[in-house]
Amino acid sequence: MLTDELRAEVARLKAERDAVVLAHYYVPPEVQELADHVGDSFALARLAATLPASTLVFAGVRFMAESAKLLSPNKTVLMPDPTADCPMAHMVRRETVETARERYGDDLAVACYVNSTAEVKSWSDVCVTSSNAVKIVRALPQRNVLFVPDRHLGRFVAEQVSEKNVILNDGFCPIHQDISAAEVADLKAAHPGAPVLAHPECGPEALALADFAGSTSQIVDAAAAGDASDYIILTVDGVRGELERRCAGTGKRFHFPATRPVCPDMARITVERLAGCLREGAGEVGLPPAGVAEAARRTLERMLELGAR
């Protein structure tokens, strides 16, 4: 529970450690309240490489902290709970990548969703996020693109970039995939005319019912800019806090599926663990082996380069 004492302690510890706290939209709202920066994977990855602080505390899951360390190897990167992971980050086999490279040769690019381990990134040519995947895949010179690990985001990209041959991997986010199209239909019936804003990690049946599909930050922006009073949100429930902050005073209401989409790993990031991490300097994230780190860093840097164009 967030108390005034805990809030004051975190502020003091951040100053003592020259630390900034970066929080993903999906962690609990009280953790977001203590953060210096809140955003989605792309915004936080881009920001982490520019901050002058010597210590970065990543309130999120492991691939996020790992990416921050790759981009800022001389900084200390801490996680409030080092066991917070992303199942999808591991859903790629080296054999899948090697088979595609053998088949397509130089006319293949491996586009790796940032929700992946450093090792998977090291097998790839460029990273992407849900906010820039379409733009980056379209910009790649190769016609054939193996998209790993998320098949749902890969399918969404393939539909937008029809000039490419996008090859899908069999990975997925369990939380987004389990959002039920039937529950979405129930929400649409209960709130006629409410726009449905969905993350492209959702399965195709739920995504087909959406009026808009985009990254978490794009969902927040769409809700803030829209003129409807009710919105149906198809992504992890943690984003509710940012939606309510951005839309405070407007009377807008946000409706999530009856089976609440909660990421258990993001939920592991509590204010108590955040304070403990700062207090003890615990949960430090190190660099992977040199060869892996160098190759993985290249994919992230190429994402930042192509995403800025």
Q: What is the pLDDT of residues 4-31, one digit of tens each?
A: 999 999 999 999 999 999 999 999 999 9
Report the candidate in 209, 128, 147, 211 with the shortest Cα–Cα distance to residue 219.
211
The conformational region for residue 193 under phi > 0 = left, psi -120 to 50 = alpha, else beta, is: left
Helix (H) or strand (E) holding 271: helix 271-280
| Gap between the Cα atoms of 306 and 71, Å rounded | 16
In one letter, which amino acid is 101?
R
Fold of the domain spanning 179-260: Rossmann fold (3.40.50)
Same fold, 4-84+267-280 and 88-172+289-308: yes
CB 45 within 8 A of CB 67: yes
pLDDT above 90 (res 134): yes
Q: Three-class SS of residue 20?
A: strand
Q: What is the mean pLDDT of residues 133-154?
A: 97
Among 17-26, 48-57, 274-283, the range scoring the smallest mean pLDDT is 48-57
Higher model confidence: residue 16 or residue 1?
Answer: 16
Q: In which band, very low, low, confident or very high, does the pLDDT at 293 lie, cut at 50, 70 and 90?
A: very high
| Gap between the Cα atoms of 93 and 120, Å rounded | 8
- CATH 3.40.50.10800 assigned to domain 88-172+289-308? The reply is yes
pLDDT above 80 (res 113): yes
pLDDT above 90 (res 49): no
Q: In which band, very low, low, confident or very high, does the pLDDT at 198 lie, cut at 50, 70 and 90?
A: very high
CB 45 within 8 A of CB 129: yes
Q: What is the model's pLDDT at position 48?
A: 84
Q: How is residue 102 written in tokens?
A: 């053998």
Q: Is 289 exposed, middle or buried (0-12, 13-18, 19+ CB in 10 A)?
A: exposed
pLDDT above 90 (res 283): yes
Is the previous residue joined to 149 through a cis bond, with omega within 30 degrees of 0? yes
Domain regions of the chain by residue span: 4-84+267-280, 88-172+289-308, 179-260
Q: What is the model's pLDDT at position 170?
A: 95
pLDDT above 90 (res 309): no
Residues composing the chain: 309
Q: What is the model's pLDDT at position 133?
A: 95
pLDDT above 90 (res 109): yes
Report the candidate in 144, 138, 100, 94 with the shortest Cα–Cα distance to residue 117.
94
pTM of the model: 0.93
Average pLDDT, the chain: 95
- CATH 3.40.50.10800 assigned to domain 4-84+267-280? The reply is yes
